[in-house]
Amino acid sequence: MNIYKYSDYRLLLKDWVQNQPKKGRGMLSQMAINTGVHPTFLSQVLSATKDFSSEQALLVAEFLGLSDHQTEYFMTLVEKEKASHFKLEDRLKRKINTLQEEAQQLDRLLKKENDRLNTEQLGEYYSSWTYIAVHSLIALAPYQNRQSLYQALNIEKPEIDRILLFLYRAGLAIEEKGQIKRIGSKSTFIGKESPFIWTHLRNWREVAIQRMQNLTKNDLSYSTVITLRAKDAQKIMDIVRDAIKKADEVIESTEPEVMALLNFDFMVLKE
């Protein structure tokens, strides 16, 4: 129950009772006992002829099982109803708005966390290039079964099976009737501050080095060491960043047909 959508604590309580088993039968009596008030007083509160004291509001919040933040919100609703001066009422309304905004921010944060792999899962996912290779390859129709994965990747079958099990448990893939598909919207993205970034960069550069021994006409590999003015180094950095941005735009709008590797490095080695 989202209590932050309520601006009237009485309506909140009535809806909470209605949402309990058996339409909340006997719940008001139980609430009265646990908060130390007479059932008649509780009925008077709900009919807007009485108000809770701060102490009673706190006990009601505990009975409802509210968190600290929710308790503060509920008690502020109660105080607003008791305010006898418009300045105090306005002040409490502003506090209510602030608490609602904080709750929304927390909700967005929790949803964002739920959309990401947890730290342990990220650690395993980036521990070897093989996890990303399998996860990427199953986006392509010809490789959505175990046999084709076994043949396509130079990885032992038990290792592929273990990676697939990880992907299933992490909510990144599913296997039905022998067909493997990528699912979900969980993010595997890590930034430069991640403790796993160095391993990720190293893994795929090692893959690139191995591939360089058998380059095809469709492959591109380029390395050079240069000396230049500092301002020109910055120009090249801007060019590379712009190229990455444009590549990301293409990637976001494309459909999976091939799996490719894109590595970028530009570093000022000495000044």
Any idea what the Cα angle at residue 252 is, between residues 249 and 253, rounded to 5°? Answer: 90
| 44-88 pLDDT tens trace | 988 888 899 999 999 988 888 888 889 999 999 999 998 889 999
Residue with the two structure tokens 């996890």 = 131
Q: Coil, helix or strand for 174?
A: strand
How far from chain centre, in Å, is Cα 16?
29
In this prediction, residue 260 carries a pLDDT of 95
Q: Coil, helix or strand for 56?
A: helix
CB-CB contact of 199 with 126 (8 Å): yes
In this prediction, residue 124 carries a pLDDT of 95
User: What are 58-62's contacts with CB under 8 Å, separation 24+?
Assistant: 59/34, 59/35, 60/13, 60/31, 60/35, 62/34
- Evaluate if residue 107 carries a pLDDT over 80: no
Domains of the chain: 3-114 (1.10.260), 120-216 (1.10.10), 222-271 (no CATH)
Alpha-carbon radius of gyration of the chain:
29
| 162-182 pLDDT tens trace | 999 999 988 899 998 889 998
Mean of the per-residue pLDDT values of the chain: 89
More confident residue, 27 or 199: 199
H helix runs in 65-156, sequence order:
68-82, 86-114, 119-125, 129-137, 146-152
Q: How far apart are CA 35 and CA 54, in angstroms?
A: 12
In this prediction, residue 112 carries a pLDDT of 53
| 112-122 pLDDT tens trace | 545 678 889 99
Q: How far apart are CA 138 and CA 133, in angstroms?
A: 9
In this prediction, residue 265 carries a pLDDT of 92
- Evaluate if residue 130 carries a pLDDT over 90: yes
In this prediction, residue 197 carries a pLDDT of 94
Helix (H) or strand (E) holding 180: strand 179-182
In this prediction, residue 1 carries a pLDDT of 75
| 213-234 pLDDT tens trace | 999 999 999 999 999 999 999 9
Burial of 111 (0-12, 13-18, 19+ CB in 10 A): exposed
In this prediction, residue 108 carries a pLDDT of 65
